[in-house]
């Protein structure tokens, strides 16, 4: 699932929490994203930033769900996952036994995933983190290779806790 599709299918609460965090914790990244999204529609950032927050977020979500904004959506999701949900990333790759840089970032991805370890890792994430954040992370992890992993694809399709279908 591409990043723009993730925004198409994400629930409003998850996107609002995501945008609140970006706006409050990563102000420079947030402003740059608003500027870049506005440029795609030939709008000045002030036009977007002057909207009430609920309208601003609705517009940003709509834009991030648009295929031409895929690079911006990718970047924002990566920043959010790496900076806000670092422990979730670490937990996941540790449970899978994948070596990482100590912050959950992996250089060499495995060709296959052990189905039992994967189930254990996913159960641990859903037990400790919001379902929307876990669902986004699992889809983004699946995007790390061109074809993804069949074990993770099956889990994403069958697990009822996954909020993005």
Domain residue extents for the chain:
3-80, 86-158
Cβ count within 10 A of residue 80: 22
> What burial letters (b/e) apply to 22-32, b meaning 16+ CB within 10 Å?
bbeebeebbee
| pTM, two decimal places | 0.91
pLDDT tens, 90-146? 999 999 999 888 888 888 889 899 999 999 999 999 999 999 999 999 999 999 988
Helices and strands per DSSP (H, E), number in the chain: 10, 0
- With 0-12 / 13-18 / 19 or more C-beta atoms within 10 angstroms meaning exposed / middle / buried, residue 117 is middle
Query: What span, in angstroms and rounded, lies between the C-alpha atoms of 164 and 14?
Result: 11
Residue 138 neighbours by CB under 8 Å, 6+ apart: 122, 125, 152, 155, 156, 162
What does the alpha-carbon distance between residue 130 and residue 163 come to, in Å, rounded to a whole number?
10
State residue 81's pLDDT score: 95
Give me the percent of the chain exceeding a pLDDT of 90: 85
- For residue range 67-80, list pLDDT tens digits in order: 999 999 999 999 99
């Amino acid at each position: 699932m591409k990043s723009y599709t993730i925004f198409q299918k994400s629930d409003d609460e998850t996107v609002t929490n995501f945008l609140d965090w970006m706006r409050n914790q990563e102000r420079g990244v947030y402003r740059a994203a608003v500027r870049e999204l506005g440029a795609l529609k030939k709008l000045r950032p002030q036009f977007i930033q002057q909207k009430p927050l609920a309208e601003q977020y609705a517009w940003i979500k709509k834009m991030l769900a648009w295929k031409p904004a895929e690079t911006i959506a990718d970047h924002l999701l990566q920043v959010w996952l790496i900076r806000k949900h670092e422990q979730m990333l670490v937990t996941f790759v540790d449970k899978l036994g994948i070596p990482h840089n100590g912050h959950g970032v992996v250089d060499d991805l495995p060709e296959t995933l052990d189905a039992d370890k994967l189930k254990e890792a996913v159960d641990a994430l859903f037990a400790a983190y919001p379902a929307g954040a876990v669902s986004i992370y699992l889809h983004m992890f699946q995007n790390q290779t061109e074809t993804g992993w069949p074990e993770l694809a099956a889990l994403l399709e069958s697990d009822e806790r996954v909020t993005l279908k």
